[in-house]
């Protein structure tokens, strides 16, 4: 049993705390946001995440998981995890480290006895060293090590990924914290690969992983565009190349471009890190450029179908950046909606998302109307745009959808729906990576 504190209770911090508590560790989650802590104390999980509510309730009852707004309480643990956000700085495109620095500065004077400070947030190479220097400058007496253990969980599957990671990367330049960290990660022994590296390597592994996956997506999206011109079908191509075990089938789904709080931010940050070291990252630069252009292209694609309709009504299914989350940060769906409204002033948008409506409202305000379910969204619509890959969209009753729509048009930028079934029902169905009339 290890005494752990987690600073920052977002999409990474909260599931991480719950997972460690479930393994019998004593966990205290700290957040400055008093309203959030109050909700968590009242048993509300504050974010949508598969499997989280059940496990959260279980560990709350066991008394292994507690919450606080006090840094002093967090500073008392043996292992202090920092999981605050490192959002993109919109001007410099670098990772904004203000929250990391604020935590380090606040923590420094409170440290007594030896502490292991783990940076789990995605941070540029050298941040571990910077945090260590900052703490040392504020409190020269403090006895501590700063370790980098990047997190690889996917939103929506946080609990599953925390319990079944492909690898756990532990970057430390000191031997001293390793025994305690081995004790903490003992339950994964033999099940996941434990990789011990230099601190800088661990920091870079995280960016290099995310950028590689983003590049894979931009690549399949380019091939998808080619398919639309040359008569091949992207679904066959993804299968055909994915069967090569050196390539693998994951992250070969064509779509509206990658989004979320990680890939867009991390590709830009990696580019800027390399730039600082005088290294050109042209593959990453092109990945970013292609991804940006894609979201504009998707809006044009939808608009092509409605450009001749007076006051067209567009039903939008999906506002989250992907299925299984309520997160709308850098969501392609939100950008497509904004782009569409920018190129066609006459358009009315009726939107539905199973979990992300509340968050979407903070970004879109009253630019769209928010519908209670998927059928309400298609009522009187000229076209249905499927923008997020929620499973329940594929399971919808399309005869019912057809009866609600004014025109039976569907643009599916997730290649989610059953083409044959839709054609039988008389829909004009457009998906990615296939010539329209094939």
22 vs 210, which CB is nearer to ligand UGA?
210
Q: Taking CB under 6 A as the rule, does residue 263 contact ligand UGA? A: yes
Q: Taking CB under 6 A as the rule, does residue 361 contact ligand UGA? A: no
Query: Taking CB under 6 A as the criterion, which residues in 201-220 touch ligand UGA?
Result: 210, 213, 217
Q: Is 419 helix (H, G, I), strand (E, B) or coil?
A: helix
Q: Taking CB under 6 A as the rule, does residue 322 contact ligand UGA? A: yes
Which letter, b or e, does each residue of 359-384 get, where b requires 16 or more Cβ atoms within 10 Å of its Cβ? Answer: bbbebbeeebebbeebbebbeebbbb
Q: Which of 29, 227, 230, 262 is catalytic?
A: 262
Q: Taking CB under 6 A as the rule, does residue 180 contact ligand UGA? A: no
Given the structure tokens 């500065």, which residue do they identify? 105
**CA separation for the pair 287, 257 (Å, rounded):** 10
Q: Taking CB under 6 A as the rule, does residue 321 contact ligand UGA? A: yes
Task: Take residue 112 and report the two structure tokens written for it.
Answer: 């007594």
Closest approach of Cβ 269 to ligand UGA, in Å? 11
Considering only 13, 85, 124, 259, the residue that binds ligand UGA (CB under 6 A) is 259
Q: Is 230 a catalytic residue?
A: no
**CA separation for the pair 199, 245 (Å, rounded):** 30
Query: Taking CB under 6 A as the criterion, which residues in 133-162 touch ligand UGA?
Result: 151-155
Task: Take residue 341 and report the two structure tokens written for it.
Answer: 């409204």
Cβ neighbourhood burial of 282 (10 Å; 0-12, 13-18, 19+): exposed
Q: Taking CB under 6 A as the rule, does residue 251 contact ligand UGA? A: yes
φ/ψ of 177, rounded to 5, equals: -80, -10
172 vs 415, which CB is nearer to ligand UGA?
415
Residue 343 CB contacts under 8 Å (≥ 6 apart), including other chains: 299, 300, 303
**Contact assessment for residue 128 and residue 203, using Cβ atoms and an 8 Å cutoff:** yes
Considering only 47, 100, 117, 262, the residue that binds ligand UGA (CB under 6 A) is 262
Query: Taking CB under 6 A as the criterion, which residues in 279-298 touch ligand UGA?
Result: none
Piece in contact with ligand UGA (CB under 6 A), picked from 42-50, 57-65, 251-259, 352-360: 251-259
Query: Taking CB under 6 A as the criterion, which residues in 17-76 touch ligand UGA?
Result: none
Q: Which helix (H) or strand (E) holds 168?
A: strand 167-171
262 vs 368, which CB is nearer to ligand UGA?
262
Closest approach of Cβ 242 to ligand UGA, in Å? 10
CA 292 to chain centre: 17
76 vs 155, which CB is nearer to ligand UGA?
155
Total residues at interface with ligand UGA (CB under 6 A):
20
Q: Taking CB under 6 A as the rule, does residue 260 contact ligand UGA? A: yes
SS3 of 320-373: the string is CCCCCCCCCCCCHHHHHHHHHHHHCCCCEEEEECCCCHHHHHHHHHHHCEECCC
- Active site residues per annotation: 262
Which residues form the interface with ligand UGA (CB under 6 A)?
122, 151-155, 210, 213, 217, 251-253, 255, 258-260, 262-263, 321-322
């Amino acid at each position: 049993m290890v005494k752990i504190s987690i600073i920052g209770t977002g999409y990474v911090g909260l599931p991480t705390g719950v997972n460690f508590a479930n393994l019998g560790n004593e966990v205290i989650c700290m957040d400055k946001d008093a309203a959030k802590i109050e909700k968590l104390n009242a048993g509300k999980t504050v974010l949508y995440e598969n499997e989280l509510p059940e496990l959260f309730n279980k560990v709350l009852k066991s008394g292994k998981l507690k919450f606080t707004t006090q840094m002093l309480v967090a500073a008392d643990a043996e292992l202090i995890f920092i999981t605050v956000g490192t959002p993109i700085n919109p001007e410099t495109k670098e990772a904004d480290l203000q929250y990391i620095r604020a935590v380090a500065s606040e923590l420094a004077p409170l440290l007594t006895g030896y502490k292991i400070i783990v940076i789990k947030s995605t941070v540029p190479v050298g941040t571990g060293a910077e945090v260590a220097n900052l703490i040392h400058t504020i409190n020269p007496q403090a006895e501590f090590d700063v370790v980098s253990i990047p997190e690889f969980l996917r939103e929506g599957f946080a609990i599953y990924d925390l319990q079944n990671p492909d690898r756990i990367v532990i970057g430390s330049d000191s031997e001293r914290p390793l025994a305690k960290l081995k004790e903490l990660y003992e339950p994964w022994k033999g099940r996941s690969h434990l990789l011990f590296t230099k601190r800088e390597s661990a920091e870079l592994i995280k960016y290099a992983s995310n950028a590689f996956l983003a590049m894979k997506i931009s690549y399949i999206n380019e091939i998808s565009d080619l398919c639309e011109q040359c008569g091949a079908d992207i679904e066959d191509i993804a299968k055909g190349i994915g069967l090569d075990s050196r390539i693998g089938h994951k992250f070969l789904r064509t779509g509206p471009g990658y989004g979320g709080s990680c890939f867009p931010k991390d590709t830009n940050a990696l580019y800027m890190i390399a730039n600082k070291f005088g290294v050109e990252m042209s593959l990453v630069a092109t990945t970013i450029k292609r991804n940006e252009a894609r979201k504009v292209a998707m809006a044009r694609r939808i608009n092509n179908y409605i450009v001749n309709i007076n006051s067209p009504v567009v039903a939008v299914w999906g506002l989250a950046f992907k299925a299984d989350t309520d997160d709308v940060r850098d969501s392609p769906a939100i950008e497509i909606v904004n782009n569409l409204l920018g190129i066609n002033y006459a358009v009315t948008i009726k939107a539905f998302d199973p979990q992300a409506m509340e968050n979407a409202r903070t970004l879109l305000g009253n630019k769209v109307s928010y519908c209670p379910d998927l059928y309400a969204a298609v009522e009187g619509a000229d076209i249905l745009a499927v923008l997020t890959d929620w499973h329940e969209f594929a399971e919808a009753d399309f005869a019912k959808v057809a009866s609600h729509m004014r025109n039976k048009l569907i643009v599916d930028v997730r290649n989610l729906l059953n083409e044959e079934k839709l054609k039988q029902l008389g829909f004009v169905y457009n998906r990615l990576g296939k010539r329209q009339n094939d």
